[in-house]
Chains A and B, each alone.
Chain A
Amino acid sequence: MSELIFKKLQIKDFRVYKGEHSIEFSTNPKKKLTLVHAENSTGKTTMLNAIKWCLYGETPDFEDKTRLVNSQSGKNSCSVKLNFIFDEQEYQASRSYNQIDTKSDIKLFKVNQYGSLTPENEEQALINGLLPKELSNFFLFAGEQFAKEYIDKPENHRRAIRNILGFDLAERAIDDLEKIKKDNLAKIKSLAKENSEISAAAKEIDRLEKLVESLNEERAEVKKDISVQTEIIKIAQQNIDNSDHKSVKKLRLILKEQESSRDTQKKLLVEKFKLKNSLVSSYGYCIFGLKFSKSTSKFIEEKESDSGMPSDFGRTFVNRLLKNKECCCGRPLKENTAEFRRIEGLIDTATTQKVNDKIRYAKGIEDDFAHKSKEFIEKLSTLETQITNIEAAISGYEAGIEDTKNHLKGLKDANIEKDIIDRDNAMSEKSKLQARVISIDETKLKFKNSIAENERTIKINPGKNVQLNKFQKMNNYIDGISETIQKKLSTTEIAAVNTIKENVQNNIDKSMKSKFHVSIGENFQLNITTSTGHTIHGSDGGRGLTQLTSLSFVTALIAHSKNRANNKKTIFQPGTIAPFVIDAPFAEMDADNQSNALRFLLSQSHQIILFLSSGQWEDQFEDVVGNDIGKRYYFIDHAKEETGSTVKKLKIKGKDYALSDFNTDKPATEIMEII
């Protein structure tokens, strides 16, 4: 593995850079840090993009990719030259652009010790060979953007990461061996068909391989469909996550509870009103009839005492006295005597059981009607108080419900239902497709087993065909080698992931106050969970954490590859390791995290170029990286007079550097070195 070192960048009339500008990067391995301090919009990001454009002809960060020439230069062309060292040889990549024909031209030169240039052929291929474009994203990037890109779409980086880990060569070896094996098999089958003993097996292999091929095509199609469904799920989930559905859910729950409480109170209110109304029928007649009941009762008592009421003695008793002609005291009663007639007269006033009962009922109403007035008023008073309280509670709930409904109206949940349906349908479809993939794989396995069986038949009965034997043996060797590489790849990947994970975990532990757990998934995606097991999605944990984690991952990845490359026995050769050129690496980090990030960047890289805004630099960082700074620049802004911008200053080791100077005819941006 070789290290790429950036030496010098020359820019001419490129974007904000009017005229010629150049900057030399520190190539001293003991002072590997180059710092560029500048305010926003003065050319930091343009400088990073100038390097990318020079190497690959692309400016992904520019909205208008054709407006590359500085508008105030009066020129129609611009150029960027990048001098770099690779394997102790200096090169110069030079790209120019003409805005009239919108063509760009790349040239690559070898630079000798006297500065003479010797052109190289196939410039772009050579540059791509040194640092493939997809790998360059891991070295040349804007901190915040990379963090977002990496965290959001780890699958896009899988290939590049495996390349950095050096798996590319081994994987290509396996592919090549497979191709050779396939060619050999074709030849074996062809030879086998000429052999009557094994021709049937050869033909069967032919047939089965066609079926496998067809299954492979179907599998690829199904996989594409799975990707489509995955994308649908992702978009729908994003919509759901971006909507206020959690708040909506919470508010709906609150609304439900409020409505339920209100309804309970309403039911209670109805019951109280029923009780209140029932007072009419249960107390009304007693209260209106109280006086009457008292007077009647009194009247009955009076009448009873003066025999105005049917007496307590019954007719049966009187009739018995008259029939037996004997008084109740035992004296005989003689007919036609005054005594006999008096007793006979009692029959008219004597009562019956039925009349007795009626009198009892009539007298009884006084007891029924008594005390009901007080009881009524107490009950009515209690019920009225309860009703007032319940009505107040209902009013309170109604106001709360109205408030909650107004909150709900203000939330964006209109399409959530549709997104949820889309997501669930896509999940269902995806799982069907995944089941189909499993089914295809099972069928393929059966076919492959049959192929292997037929191949064994051919192997066992190769006959006397020397050529056939030769191809058989070769394929046996290929199988062995492929298997070994595959195993090695697998174990190396596991070890690499573990090492990188530990490295990232260390950085996070040192930097974050809270405890986070880092894991690395199938596509090298970083998963961060809190101590309570809650997974942090996207930038939920704060962009500072996201940036720190992704920066840690990249540097740990590069460092691991470099360390392993020193092991001469390895079959995995990592590609070129380039310098880190990072624009605004710490945009969202606090000062402590920035210090930590600086430390691990320096400890795990051979050359670092950082573009920092003045606000991202603090004197305390001098203690952390001061000894590692090989080159240091600041940009002076000469272009903002008309906007009335104030002069900003950069303070380094107690000395002030003006970052703007508007009283000059100099180009918009001037690069100044701090020595």
Chain B
Amino acid sequence: MPSVAFDSEFINIFNKLCEEKDEMTGQSIFKFNWEFMIFLAMVGRHKKESCSKVEKIPTNRRVKDIKDVTFEQANKVGIVYALGIDQSKGGDILRDDDDNESWLYLEKFAQIGMEEVYSWFVEFPTMKPSDLILSKIKEIAESNISKKEFIKPNFGS
């Protein structure tokens, strides 16, 4: 049964976004580890087309393990399969009953995403994590939509 994990090298980022509770809301930014993993993978995929150069996380640095069934229950396996097709440039990867390769892509892109998020925190060390992440999402969202569709948000606070 495949599973994915985070790199303990980035445990501080993980803790900041998945463990630490916001003073006002009493909640962490990501309630579930799988949410963070998916987010990171998409950030990573947005950052890079390929993850071929990313090393597999060494066993001794694998932390916060998440089993594949968790993503199935969250209806997020489509992303994993899409990454598999995307990276293998074909559909045969899906014939593997265990989808090991696909899960590995997910983990590798998450690793890229983690490095990207880390760079954000380095760039804006004093910014509130939630505001920082939201500003980055907003930045990409603005580029995603056409100017005609774009509605300028109020970031007064």
> B-contacting residues of A (Cβ < 8 Å)?
269-270, 273-274, 276-277, 279-281, 283-293, 295-297, 299-300, 303, 308-310, 352, 354-355, 358-359, 361-365, 368, 372-374, 376-378, 380-381, 384-385, 387-388, 391
Contact = CB atoms under 8 A, between A and B. Distances in A.
B95 A373 contact: no
A274 B42 contact: no
Interface stretch (B2-10, B118-126, B137-145): B137-145
B46 A288 contact: yes
A292 B138 contact: no
A273 B24 contact: yes
B133 A284 contact: yes
Interface string B22-39: 101111011110011011
Interface of B: 22, 24-27, 29-32, 35-36, 38-39, 41-43, 45-46, 77-79, 81-86, 89-92, 94-95, 97, 99, 113, 130, 133-134, 137-138, 140-142, 144-145, 149-157
B30 A281 contact: yes
Contact of B91 (A274, A300, A373, A374): A300
A280 B156 contact: no
A353 B95 CA distance: 11
A402 B141 CA distance: 42
Contacts of B22: 273, 277
Given A285-B43, A376-B138, A377-B141, 17 more contacts: A269-B24, A273-B24, A281-B29, A281-B30, A284-B133, A285-B35, A293-B82, A296-B86, A355-B91, A358-B81, A363-B78, A374-B141, A376-B137, A376-B141, A377-B138, A380-B134, A384-B154
Contact of B86 (A292, A368, A391): A292
A296 B85 contact: yes
Contacts of A381: 151-154
A288 B140 contact: yes
17 contacts: A269-B24, A280-B133, A283-B141, A288-B42, A291-B46, A292-B46, A300-B91, A308-B90, A310-B91, A352-B95, A355-B95, A361-B81, A362-B84, A376-B141, A378-B151, A384-B153, A384-B155
B82 A280 contact: no
A310 B94 contact: yes
B153 A270 contact: no
A300 B81 CA distance: 11
Given A280-B29, A374-B151, A362 B82 contact: yes
Given A310-B95, A384-B153, A373 B145 contact: yes
Contacts of B91: 300, 303, 308-310, 355, 359
Nearest to B130: A277
Nearest to B77: A361
Contacts of A276: 130, 134
B125 to A, nearest CB: 19
Contacts, number: 167
A284 B86 CA distance: 20
Closest 5 CB pairs of A and B: A361-B78, A381-B153, A289-B42, A309-B91, A373-B144
Given A309-B90, A374-B149, A384-B155, A289 B45 contact: yes
**Binding site secondary structure of chain B:** helix
B106 to A, nearest CB: 11
Nearest to B22: A277
A309 B42 CA distance: 23
A281 B39 contact: yes
Contacts of A362: 78, 81-82, 84-85, 94
A285 B81 CA distance: 15
A347 to B, nearest CB: 12
Contacts of B25: 270, 273-274, 277
Contacts of B78: 361-365, 368
Contacts of A364: 78
B92 A280 contact: no
Contacts of B42: 284-286, 288-289, 292
Contacts of A290: 140, 144
Contacts of A291: 46, 144
Contacts of A378: 151
Contact of A281 (B35, B97, B142, B145): B35
A294 B120 CA distance: 26
B134 A279 contact: yes
Contacts of B84: 362
Nearest to B45: A292
Given A279-B137, A292-B46, A361-B77, A287 B85 contact: no
Contacts of A368: 78
Given A277-B130, A309-B90, A287 B153 contact: no
A391 B78 CA distance: 41
Contacts of A297: 82
B90 A284 contact: no
Contact of A358 (B86, B94, B141): B94
B29 A270 contact: no
B154 A285 contact: no
**B24, B27, B113, B134 — most chain A CB neighbours (10 Å):** B134
Given A277-B29, A377-B142, A380-B134, A288 B86 contact: no
**A270, A284, A299, A381 — most chain B CB neighbours (10 Å):** A284
Nearest to B31: A281
Contacts of B77: 358, 361
B77 to A, nearest CB: 6
A377 B81 contact: no
Contacts of A273: 22, 24-25
A288 B151 CA distance: 18
B89 to A, nearest CB: 8
A359 B94 CA distance: 8
A361 B82 CA distance: 8
Contacts of A309: 90-91
A372 B8 CA distance: 32
A360 to B, nearest CB: 8
Contacts of B92: 310
A293 B42 CA distance: 10
Contacts of B130: 276-277, 280
A250 to B, nearest CB: 33
A300 B85 contact: yes
Contacts of B89: 299
Contacts of B82: 292-293, 296-297, 361-363, 365
A284 B39 contact: yes
A303 B84 CA distance: 14
A377 B145 contact: yes
B45 A287 contact: no
Contacts of A295: 86
A373 B138 CA distance: 8
Nearest to B36: A281
A6 B140 CA distance: 107
Nearest to B135: A380
A285 B45 CA distance: 10
Given A280-B30, A280-B130, A288 B152 contact: no
B27 to A, nearest CB: 6
Contacts of A281: 29-32, 35-36, 39
Given A289-B45, A377-B151, A384-B157, A277 B81 contact: no
Given A277-B29, A374-B151, A283 B137 contact: yes
Contacts of B46: 288-289, 291-292
Given A287-B144, A289-B42, A274 B27 contact: yes
Contacts of A352: 95
